[in-house]
Amino acid sequence: MTRPFLLDCDTGIDDAMALLYLASEPTIDFVGISTVSGNVTAEQAATNSLRLLHLIDRLDVPVAVGAMDFLDRPFDGGVPHIHGRNGVGNVEVPPAPVGPVAQSGAELIVEMARRYPGELHLITIGPLTNIALALELEPELPRLVSHVTVMGGAALVPGNVSPVAEANIANDAKASAIVLAADWPITLVGLDVTMQQNLEEPDRVRLLESDRPVAQLMGRILDLYFDFYEPIMGRRCSALHDPLAAAIAVGGIAMDLAPVVRVVVDDTEGPGRGQTICDLRGSYAGYPEQSGAHCAVALRIDTDFAPILMERLLSL
Q: Are 51 and 96 in contact (CB under 8 A)?
A: yes
Q: Is 46 helix (H, G, I), strand (E, B) or coil?
A: helix
Q: Are 266 and 273 in contact (CB under 8 A)?
A: yes
Q: Which distant-in-sequence residues (6+ apart) come within 8 Å of 252 by Cβ?
A: 21, 25, 246, 308
Helix runs in 104-251, H state only: 105-115, 129-137, 141-144, 167-171, 173-181, 191-194, 201-208, 213-233, 241-250
Q: Which distant-in-sequence residues (6+ apart) come within 8 Å of 232 by Cβ?
A: none
Would residue 241 show up in a list of annotated catalytic residues for this protein?
Answer: yes
CA distance 115 to 109: 10
Q: Which of 10, 15, 266, 267 is catalytic?
A: 10
**300 DSSP β-pair partners:** 257
Q: Which of 83, 121, 241, 294 is catalytic?
A: 241
* C-alpha to C-alpha distances, 54 to 86, 155, 177, 196, 295, nearest whole angstrom: 17, 37, 35, 31, 35
* C-alpha to C-alpha distances, 142 to 109, 110, 122, 134, 223, nearest whole angstrom: 12, 11, 11, 10, 39
* Phi, psi (deg, nearest 5) at residue 4: -80, 130
* Phi, psi (deg, nearest 5) at residue 31: -95, -5
| Burial letters 173-209, b for 16+ CB under 10 A, else e | bbbbbbbbebebebbbbbbbbbbebbbbeebbebbee
Q: DSSP letter at 164?
A: S
Q: DSSP letter at 92?
A: P
In residues, how long is the chain? 316
Please identify every residue annotated as catalytic.
10, 241
